[in-house]
Amino acid sequence: MLLLDREGAKADLWTRVETLDISADKVIVPSALLQDALAARRPGQQIGVAIDNTERAAALEPYFGALALVVIAFPTGYNGRGFSIARQLRERGFSGLLRASGPLVSDQFPHALACGFDEIELPDASAERQPVEQWLAAAARISLNYQRGYNYGAVANILEQRRAARRAGAANV
């Protein structure tokens, strides 16, 4: 697995478990165990949850304050449901880390960032063909977007730019 964010490759400090064996400092549990894991949490310990893309953002809403990470599975690169789940989580106030996990392609990196993801967890087979440099290049390739409210990194919003130009124009009159 390769973990990367907009700065490049990063170490994965999280441990994934399938049971309530939550001894590590940063633990990712399946959503079925989330409530129990949060109840058993030690002081200073961070809990994350891994969800399928058939699960709903609204189901996590009660735990937003206690959750440090949400991992959304992408079963294939071209199943884009996870982008909407991420967007919903952000729109509804989740401020922890958001991770996309699955065989995405680097061209989807800007989409993931724009929808609120912080990092991508890539299977080895994908990472071998698409090194980190390709992901960083992909994130910077389109420097503008039309969609207001989807802001990320170096991307400028066209409608905001036009609005600023209008205001500057009005101020100069």
Partner 1 sequence: MYRYDEFDERLVRERVAQFASQVARRIDGSLTDAEFLPLRLKNGLYLQLHSYMLRIAVPYGTLHARQLRQLARIADEYDRGYGHFTTRTNLQFNWSKLKDVPTVLGLLADVEMHCIQTSGNCIRNVTADHFAGVAHDEIEDPRPIAELIRQWSTLHPEFEWLGRKFKIAVSGATHDRAVVKSHDLGVRIVRDPASGETGYEILVGGGLGRTPFAAKVLREFLPREDLLAYLEAVLRVYNLEGRRDNKFKARLKILVHELGIEALRALVEEEFAHIDKARVNADPQEQARIAAYFAPPAYEDLPEVSRKLEDAQIRDPELARFVEHNLFRHKKRGYTAVTISLKPIGGTPGDITSEQMRAVADLAEKYSFDELRVTHAQNLVLPNVKLDDVAEVYEALKAHDLATANIGRITDIISCPGLDYCSLATARSIPIAQVLSHHFADPEKQKQIGEVSIKISGCINACGHHHVGNIGILGLEKKGVESYQITVGGDPSENYALGELLGPGVPAEYVPEAVDKVVSVYLAERQQGETFIETYRRIGLAPFKAAFKEIADVAA
Which residue, 8 or 153, has its beta carbon nearer to partner 1?
Answer: 153
Q: Is residue 115 involved in binding partner 1 (CB under 8 A)? A: yes
Q: How many other C-beta atoms lie within 10 A of the C-beta of residue 16?
A: 15
H runs (alpha helix) in 9-102 = 34-39, 57-60, 81-91
**For partner 1, which stretch binds (CB under 8 A), given 12-20, 27-35, 41-49, 148-156?**
148-156
85 binds partner 1 (CB under 8 A): yes
Tell me which of 40, 56, 123, 164 binds partner 1, using CB under 8 A.
56
Binding pattern to partner 1, positions 60-79, x when CB under 8 A?
Answer: -----------------xxx
| H helices, E strands: number in the chain | 7, 10
Alpha-carbon distance of 19 to 129, in angstroms, equals: 33
Burial class (CB in 10 A: 0-12, 13-18, 19+), 65: exposed
- Which positions touch partner 1 (CB under 8 A)? 56, 77-81, 83-85, 87-88, 91-92, 105-108, 110-115, 129-130, 134, 137, 141-150, 158-159, 161-163, 166
